């Protein structure tokens, strides 16, 4: 009985509790709300209603955190306790309790909209209908929607995302399959090769019946069959200084590099730096693979990591050295995971870190990568500002200045 | 004594093993100890008396180019990773 005995009076009913909470928080009416939201330092607007209410309309720019998830999710949306927060629900009661909870969590500047969305709408103020997934998509992507970091908004973001893949081979196969399955709306695939029997030990986009077909076309068929929400744009050509600008002009948010040669890797690196597009790098040889993310402005580029390619006689390719079939499955899947995080803007991408995987030892290790201030492309005073002859640059002959 | 991780494309030069012990208090001493025993590693690792631009050397996960290059000190028991560029993706 010790807990109960300390209460000075009988437990309050809902009305009393609401009144008490309302007297302890800051409320604004619709007119004040409008001023707050029109101010240059706009507060974070949080809609605390249930999902079905949210889908019927909201205050423009609001984010949605249902009342029941508020305490667990608010820190991600507003890590700074001084961040002004504007809460609303339908009538201003749930948001009053929500404001009280946020104050208890240490948020210093929280207001609740008295009268809620009902008053806002009745006053003729602007509302917007959130985009939502239709029933079919909601089902297809339900396992994404369930993850708080992705959710419906995140899935819509993926459907709007555009990822360019270099190569529909070992690395490109798993990357493209997972990106398509995830519902990335547009996938570009650059590959000038045809499906060969020696590819099928690892290049899971293709199959025996596709021997001799263009890999980019075969990839398109496989991916669109997997997920008709995805538009696949095949480029049956090798990436060169002549076509790179045309291909990038189609607009890409992220590039996944699964190329098999140094000229293409240096070319796409330079292009990604100049176009400010994150580049997800992967490479494989025998039992070992590497992956990292070159994000312009946030970390090093490929040239910071390797200022020059090795002379050709010192650089065996998979065609010469071989590769364990499943290895690109692991490294390419890591690339897909990084690309999805970049599209969604979540997590800690592999920027400034090179992940090394050894399948024989089953060991992951990591080394740190730093941007080189003297890098000729992304450094403080770049000396390379336009495409060079990448084949010559990688041939071991001295590159022209 | 440090452990030097040999990348797959260089294992042919060291008898196929994944890791080779090497002696040295600096990266220079350590690489020269390695190259004395495995001379065919030399063109893969050094160029003009410096670390070749197509290979990276990491001591305890840090690129020695961002430290003191060949003069970077190596503590006894450190893990050193040699990492040449590799292009394979298909």
Q: What is the pLDDT of residue A11?
A: 79
Q: What percent of chain A has pLDDT over 70?
A: 95
Nearest to A369 among B43, B63, B86 (CB): B63
- Same structural domain for residues A72 and A173? no
- Taking an 8 Å cut-off on Cβ atoms, the answer to whether A370 and B66 are in contact is yes
Kindly tell me if the per-residue pLDDT of A320 is higher than 90: no
Q: State the average pLDDT over residues A261-277.
A: 96
Give the position of tokens 């196929």.
Answer: B16
Point out which residues pair with A128 in neighbouring strands.
Answer: A58
> Residue B69 maps to which CATH number?
3.10.20.30
In contact, B10 and B82? CB cutoff 8 Å: yes
Please tell me the predicted confidence (pLDDT) of residue A5: 54
Domain limits for position A320: 161-393
Name the band, by pLDDT with cuts 50, 70 and 90, for residue A395. confident
Percent of chain A with pLDDT over 90: 87
pLDDT for position A118: 96
In a domain, B32, yes or no: yes
Question: What pLDDT is stored for residue A155 in this prediction?
Answer: 97
A245 & A369 share domain: yes
Question: DSSP string of A253-315?
Answer: SEEEE--SSHHHHHHHHHHHHHHT--EEEEEEEBTEEEEEEE-TTTS--HHHH-SSPPPGGG-
Burial degree of B15 (CB within 10 A; 0-12, 13-18, 19+): exposed
Mark whether A90 and A207 lie in a shared domain: no
Is ipTM strictly over 0.85? Answer: yes
pLDDT for residue A373: 95
Q: Which domain holds residue B11?
A: 2-84
Look over chain A and give the mean of its residue pLDDT values, rounded to a whole number: 93
CA distance to partner chain A, nearest, from residue B60 (Å): 8
* pLDDT at A401 > cutoff 50: no
Residues A202-217 have a mean pLDDT of 98
Q: What residues have CB less than 8 Å from B66, skipping those under 6 apart?
A: A370
Q: Tell me which residue of A151, A137, A126, A162 sits closest to A30, measured CA to CA.
A: A126
- The answer to whether residue A129 sits within a structural domain is no
Q: How many CB atoms lie within 10 A of CB A252?
A: 22
Residue A146 falls inside a structural domain: no
Contact map slice: A 351-390 vs B, CB within 8 A:
354, 356, 358, 360-361, 365-370, 372
Is residue A319 over pLDDT 80? no
Q: Are residues A75 and A202 in the same domain?
A: no
Q: What is the residue-level pLDDT of chain B in tens, covering all 90 positions?
A: 899 999 988 999 999 999 999 999 999 999 999 999 999 999 999 999 999 999 999 999 999 999 999 999 999 999 999 998 888 777
Query: Which of B58, B84, B88 comes nearest A318 by C-beta?
Result: B88
Total number of domains in chain B: 1
Q: What's the confidence (pLDDT) of residue B34?
A: 96
Looking at the structure, tell me whether residues A217 and A344 fall in a common domain: yes
Confidence of residue A1 (pLDDT cuts 50, 70, 90): very low
Q: Residue A265 is encoded by which pair of tokens?
A: 């890797």
Nearest to B90 among A167, A315, A360 (CB): A167
Judged against a pLDDT cut of 60, whether residue A204 lies above it is answered with yes
Nearest to A166 by CA among A141, A142, A187: A187
- pLDDT for res A271: 98
| Residues A214, A351 within the same domain | yes
Give the pLDDT band of residue A2 (cuts 50, 70, 90): low
């Amino acid at each position: 009985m010790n807990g109960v005995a300390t209460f000075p009076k009988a437990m309050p009913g809902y009305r009393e509790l609401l009144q008490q909470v309302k007297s302890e928080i800051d409320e604004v009416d619709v007119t004040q709300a409008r001023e707050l939201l029109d101010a240059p330092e706009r507060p974070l607007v949080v809609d605390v209603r249930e999902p079905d209410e949210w889908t019927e309309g909201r205050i423009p720019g609001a984010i949605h955190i249902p009342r029941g998830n508020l305490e667990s999710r608010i820190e991600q949306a507003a890590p700074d306790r001084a961040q002004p927060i504007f809460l609303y629900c339908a009538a201003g009661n749930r948001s009053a309790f929500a404001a009280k909870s946020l104050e208890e969590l240490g948020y210093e500047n929280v207001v609740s909209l008295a009268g809620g969305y009902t008053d806002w709408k009745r006053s003729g103020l602007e509302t917007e209908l959130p985009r939502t997934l239709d029933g079919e998509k909601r089902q297809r992507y339900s396992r994404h929607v369930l993850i708080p970091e992705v959710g419906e908004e995140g899935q819509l973001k993926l459907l709007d995302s555009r990822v360019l893949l270099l190569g529909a081979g070992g690395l490109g196969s798993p990357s493209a399959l997972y990106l398509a399955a995830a519902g990335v709306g547009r996938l570009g695939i650059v590959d000038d090769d045809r499906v060969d029997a020696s590819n099928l030990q690892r290049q899971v986009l293709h199959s025996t019946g596709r021997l001799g077909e263009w890999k980019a076309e075969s990839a398109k068929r496989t991916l669109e069959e997997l997920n008709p929400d995805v538009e696949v744009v095949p480029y049956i050509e090798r990436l060169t200084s002549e076509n790179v600008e045309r291909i990038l002009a189609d607009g890409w948010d992220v590039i996944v590099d699964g190329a098999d040669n140094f000229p293409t890797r240096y070319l796409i690196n330079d292009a990604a730096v100049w176009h400010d597009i994150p580049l997800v790098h992967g490479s494989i040889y025998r039992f070992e693979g590497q992956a990292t993310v070159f994000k312009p402005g946030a970390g090093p580029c490929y040239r910071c990591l390797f200022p020059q390619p090795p002379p050709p006689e010192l650089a065996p390719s998979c065609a010469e050295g071989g590769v364990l079939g499943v290895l690109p499955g692991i490294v390419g899947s890591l690339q897909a995971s990084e690309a999805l995080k970049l599209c969604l803007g979540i997590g800690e991408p592999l920027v400034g870190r090179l992940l090394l995987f050894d399948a024989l030892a089953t060991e992951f290790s990591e080394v740190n990568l730093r941007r080189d201030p003297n890098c000729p492309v992304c450094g403080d005073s770049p000396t390379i500002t336009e495409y060079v002859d990448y084949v010559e640059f990688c041939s071991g002959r001295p590159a022209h200045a | 004594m440090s452990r030097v991780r040999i990348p797959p494309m260089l294992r042919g030069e060291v008898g196929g093993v994944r890791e080779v012990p090497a002696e040295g208090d600096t990266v220079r001493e350590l690489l020269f100890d390695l190259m004395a025993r495995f001379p065919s590693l030399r063109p893969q690792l050094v160029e003009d008396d410096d670390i070749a631009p197509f290979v990276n050397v990491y001591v305890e996960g840090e690129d020695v180019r961002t430290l003191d290059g060949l003069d970077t000190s190596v503590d006894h028991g450190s893990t050193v990773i040699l990492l040449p560029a590799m292009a394979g993706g298909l």
